[in-house]
């Protein structure tokens, strides 16, 4: 299972934080100084594990401020352990480029997923199943994939199942069951 590198949060949690403020550069006579990224990190009280790349850093947060507003993100722990010491050694302009690329890719991925779910809702392909105690599984139904799964699971009976499904009126057809 892969975890997203950035997880949006509403605000920075309480606590003593070390920070590094990165101001946007001036490129080709255009200033990007209104664009700021602040890295907040906290060093854990526990000693680093011997023989590992453990930095002793407990949490890392990004605060991104630009014309669209202020956004907070928690950086996933495996990314913190792997790259934070190297990030802190980079010049500000390079680090801004890296963090902005990660943020842009994350935002574009979330926007694409939201659009996919919006379109599935419009097409009535969004499905849900109750798992109990207020938990639900939600997925997008893929008719071509469903037919392939039926053929794989039911073999010769798949054709009969598909015929019955084709004759059964679906939701919104006006027919009552």
pLDDT for residue 143: 77
User: Domain-by-domain residue ranges, the chain?
Assistant: 6-121, 126-167
- Asked if 130 and 122 touch (Cβ cutoff 8 Å), the reply is no
pLDDT for residue 177: 45
Measured CA to CA, the distance from residue 103 to residue 124 in angstroms comes to 31
Query: Running along the chain, 177 residues long, what does each successive block of 10 average in pLDDT?
Result: 59 69 68 73 63 60 78 75 76 80 83 92 88 88 80 84 78 50
| Residues 109-126 as b or e (16 or more Cβ within 10 Å = b) | eeeeeeeeeeebeeeeeb
- pTM, entire model: 0.58
Q: Which secondary structure element, helix H or strand E, spans residue 145, and what is its range?
A: helix 143-154
pLDDT for residue 111: 92
pLDDT for residue 98: 81
47 DSSP 8-state letter: P
pLDDT for residue 99: 79
Q: Could you tell me whether strands 135-140 and 26-27 are parallel, antiparallel, or unpaired per DSSP bridges?
A: unpaired
């Amino acid at each position: 299972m892969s975890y997203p590198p950035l997880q949006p949060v509403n605000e920075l949690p309480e606590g003593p934080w070390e920070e590094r403020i990165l101001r946007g550069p001036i490129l080709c006579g255009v200033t990007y100084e209104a664009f700021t990224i602040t890295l907040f990190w906290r060093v854990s009280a526990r000693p680093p594990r011997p023989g590992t790349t453990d930095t002793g850093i407990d949490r890392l947060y990004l605060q991104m401020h630009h014309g669209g507003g202020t956004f907070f993100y928690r950086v996933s722990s495996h990314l913190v352990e792997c790259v934070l010491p190297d990030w802190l050694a980079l010049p500000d302009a390079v680090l801004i480029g890296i963090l902005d690329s990660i943020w842009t890719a994350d935002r574009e991925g979330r926007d694409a997923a939201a659009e996919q779910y919006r379109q599935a809702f419009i097409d009535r392909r969004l499905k849900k199943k109750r798992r109990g105690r207020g938990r639900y599984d939600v997925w997008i139904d893929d008719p071509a994939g469903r037919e392939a799964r039926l053929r794989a699971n039911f073999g010769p009976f798949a054709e009969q199942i598909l015929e019955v499904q084709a004759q059964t009126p679906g939701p919104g057809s006006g027919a009552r069951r």
